[in-house]
Structure 1
């Protein structure tokens, strides 16, 4: 994979899409004409069942196999569920994915994503400049079944954007349609290349590829013609991607059934990208020309969560020792990474008065920069070192099967919103758990702050949660035990951007946590692409901020006060943290997205291991369950 991903741009945008009738592979060059390619806009045209989705899948997977995410990004749009694009949305190269029939306004949302990304690129690339000199990856926008994706205005607007500024900002567009009749003919007029699959008639073939033979192509999907801007036409047959493979690297849902090829490749490339990122960083730091994997054979096990937290075999985790009772001053301190000087960067979530901390943390960065890894590392670090009686966690994520699904079994979780986007639109369809079932996440947080305030005030005149917790530890009756509450929300901006009501509720929550969080033991940590949708609310409260790789120097200044987060390495887990007092530190966070092997943890597929997050959740839940049933086994005072 290192050799595949070491090709220079623009060679990486040249990929085989099938075999010619004469035998050799047919190579499609997606680069713009100015770079000697066929881009920036291609059409795949053919009748239903002719293989249009397969062609798009071949292109997407070919780009991912031939380029690292730092060199090529993908934006995917589907007009319907179940196309061949399904399954590749988890590639590390994908920065956005939309299925049009998810919601009535989904195609509009997708256009805004495309427009925002192109505007961002135009702000970075100077007039007359080259996007490659600005270290921007190429952007390939792929839309399947554009006929049903949305209104003609939506698709035409995307085509117009790419046609006008695509070459300047490194954007390419490839869409599939059934024909070029009516308004769709305008798209054909600006297409720089066409792939014509089986047409319904000779007339339809001429309209799509200006050749009459497409209606005589075999019924088998994948046969077609490639017509370039110079008028050259080549007949070819594309490979299939819609089949299952068997590999020990990816667990099978049903034993013996295999795994869909796109799903398997997405999993393998995601794991490989983590290693590739470490290789690239070692090269950068040491000016190495030799592959660091040859010098450091254990590189793939590098900066991972378990060794960072001094965990050997996860199955042998000494939970009793980790959860031993500590003085409150030693609780709620969680390391999130390592600074350039080798020291640990530690978050103190207690945010005591007069300290350099704050009860609110905001993590920003573009997709793939490692925002979710920061949140996951903080959560796992807390639960490994603190029992549920000392720390409770409320989780929220925008999209189901996103960040936190593998840890919802943790005994610390008192509420989980698995799909906040659906909750805000169709509350009757979402399936929250714990206190999340009581309603809207911002209302639940507001009510919980009020409940805790009543408990703390009834117990005495405590000026901080530190004093309350120390009184509980001193066993001064009748003070009830009240665990600290850490609220973690991933991609919070996505539920704020289109809703004034949500922004108002979020602003109220920020204000109450800022004023009362250190008294009632409530802390908020959230992530967002940027501060655009809630900057005023954030500026009005005390926060610490973590800036991962940013869209622009200006975005970096907004989040951490300096432009340097724009120049961070273009892969996950590097960032700057700015404390409430203004101190800025560059650091690298560990990754938790990997599999572990242990004789004490059952594997779904032998030899594949278990995700670290799943393993830790299972171990801690099992230990806590035994603890509840046998209170005498509670860890001794430490």
Structure 2
């Protein structure tokens, strides 16, 4: 309920699945709304929207970085983003891969969403899924390249979508959003995955792949070759001014108040937007 607003209010949703269905139908007709989701409110109480589309299509994506110290509200912000995307897109338009390397609490309860292809944690009995995830993502990259080639050597998913709208009988490729919480811990245990992340960073624009890397601390050494692909940045309260400066270019995030959800959004335009993240884990008030 950041800034007094919960996610349903920011989305203009009435309670119940009918409201979600109507919202998806309305947004499906407007290309500008694709992959746009409100994540909180600014200092004037207006919605702050994160647009995962690439800059050529009016967005700040396709990839980003989120850093927040313990108790800053990072996990809640990631839940807000995931549920906001699920509420505004059908599973035919959007798929999600959720990775949490601090025990699985961040995405607890979200595995049942039809959009979610996998939820992977660092729990011992799930560690083998990490390697399977890497193989599956590499296979998905190849599959998408083959679909574009078979459709007439198209340059990317935007051209494929345009062909579908023109009546061509070509497959639909949903956007694939991969959210990795505590990515520094993941890369500490599986350093070879940085090569896969760099590949996703490089090919994401053309193949409809989106990567959001989140962590309590920023270990710049783990970002080998990834920095240039992370076009939007979110900083909740950081442990140090240096971490804030590394994420945003300024130390301001270190001086945010201790209240969970206080954050800055940098979208590559040079402007920092201070906002309060919406909350989705608190039950809605009775009417």
Q: CA separation of 1:356/1:326 partners in 2, compared to 1, >3 Å: closer, same or farther?
A: closer
Query: Contact (CA 8 Å) 2:187, 2:193: kept in 1 or not?
Result: no
Q: Distance in 2 between matches of 1:354 and 1:326?
A: 16
Q: State how 1:299-310 maps to structure 2 within 5 Å.
A: 302-310=4-12
Q: Distance in 2 between matches of 1:420 and 1:473?
A: 41
Q: Distance in 2 between matches of 1:504 and 1:448?
A: 18
Q: Distance in 2 between matches of 1:393 and 1:326?
A: 22
1:541 paired residue number: 229
1:493 paired residue number: 184
Q: Distance in 2 between matches of 1:327 and 1:403?
A: 31
* Residue range with higher mean Cα deviation, 347-356 or 579-588: 347-356
2:282 paired residue number: 594
2:114 paired residue number: 411
1:480 aligned onto 2:171: yes
By how many angstroms is 1:355 displaced?
5.0
1:271 paired residue number: none
Query: Contact (CA 8 Å) 1:547, 1:575: kept in 2 or not?
Result: yes
Q: CA separation of 1:319/1:361 partners in 2, compared to 1, >3 Å: closer, same or farther?
A: same
Structure of greater Rg: 1
Structure 2 residues not aligned, in runs of 5+: none
RMSD: 2.6
Please give the secondary structure, in 2, of the residue aligned with 1:534: helix
Structure 1 residues not aligned, in runs of 5+: 1-273, 282-301, 423-428, 600-638
By how many angstroms is 1:460 displaced?
2.5
Q: Distance in 1 between matches of 2:95 and 2:236?
A: 26
Please give the secondary structure, in 2, of the residue aligned with 1:323: helix
Q: CA separation of 1:465/1:327 partners in 2, compared to 1, >3 Å: closer, same or farther?
A: farther
Q: CA separation of 1:519/1:574 partners in 2, compared to 1, >3 Å: closer, same or farther?
A: same
* Residue range with higher mean Cα deviation, 383-392 or 341-350: 341-350
1:231 paired residue number: none
Deviations along 1:418-461, one digit per CA (max 9) or x if unpaired, are x2353xxxxxx2288xxxx6943333322222221221222124
TM-score (norm 2): 0.88
2:47 paired residue number: 344
By how many angstroms is 1:581 displaced?
3.8
Q: Distance in 1 between matches of 2:58 and 2:21?
A: 31
* Residue range with higher mean Cα deviation, 466-475 or 556-565: 466-475
Please give the secondary structure, in 1, of the residue aligned with 2:54: coil
RCO comparison, higher one (Cα < 8 Å, 6+) = 2
Q: State how 1:399-478 maps to structure 2 within 5 Å.
A: 399-417=102-120, 419-422=121-124, 429-430=125-126, 439-477=131-169
Deviations along 1:20-55, one digit per CA (max 9) or x if unpaired, are xxxxxxxxxxxxxxxxxxxxxxxxxxxxxxxxxxxx
Q: CA separation of 1:589/1:463 partners in 2, compared to 1, >3 Å: closer, same or farther?
A: same
1:311 paired residue number: 13
1:357 paired residue number: 60
1:393 aligned onto 2:92: no
Q: CA separation of 1:373/1:458 partners in 2, compared to 1, >3 Å: closer, same or farther?
A: same
Deviations along 1:111-169, one digit per CA (max 9) or x if unpaired, are xxxxxxxxxxxxxxxxxxxxxxxxxxxxxxxxxxxxxxxxxxxxxxxxxxxxxxxxxxx
Q: Distance in 2 between matches of 1:537 and 1:576?
A: 24
> Between Structure 1 and Structure 2, how many residues are aligned?
284
Deviations along 1:190-213, one digit per CA (max 9) or x if unpaired, are xxxxxxxxxxxxxxxxxxxxxxxx
Q: State how 1:29-44 maps to structure 2 within 5 Å.
A: none
Query: Contact (CA 8 Å) 2:198, 2:226: kept in 1 or not?
Result: no
By how many angstroms is 1:354 displaced?
7.4
Q: CA separation of 1:493/1:519 partners in 2, compared to 1, >3 Å: closer, same or farther?
A: same
Q: Distance in 2 between matches of 1:581 and 1:559?
A: 14
Q: CA separation of 1:548/1:495 partners in 2, compared to 1, >3 Å: closer, same or farther?
A: same
Q: CA separation of 1:495/1:348 partners in 2, compared to 1, >3 Å: closer, same or farther?
A: same
Please give the secondary structure, in 1, of the residue aligned with 2:192: helix
Match of 1:320 among 9, 14, 21: 21
Query: Contact (CA 8 Å) 1:421, 1:495: kept in 2 or not?
Result: no
Query: Contact (CA 8 Å) 2:7, 2:39: kept in 1 or not?
Result: no
Q: State how 1:102-501 maps to structure 2 within 5 Å.
A: 302-312=4-14, 314-315=15-16, 317-324=18-25, 325-353=28-56, 355=58, 357-417=60-120, 419-422=121-124, 429-430=125-126, 439-477=131-169, 479-497=170-188, 499=189
Query: Contact (CA 8 Å) 2:236, 2:263: kept in 1 or not?
Result: yes
Query: Contact (CA 8 Å) 1:542, 1:580: kept in 2 or not?
Result: no
Query: Contact (CA 8 Å) 1:304, 1:590: kept in 2 or not?
Result: yes
Structure 1 residue runs of 4+, over 6 Å off?
none
Q: Distance in 1 between matches of 2:246 and 2:57?
A: 24
Q: Distance in 2 between matches of 1:583 and 1:309?
A: 24
Please give the secondary structure, in 2, of the residue aligned with 1:488: strand
2:253 paired residue number: 565
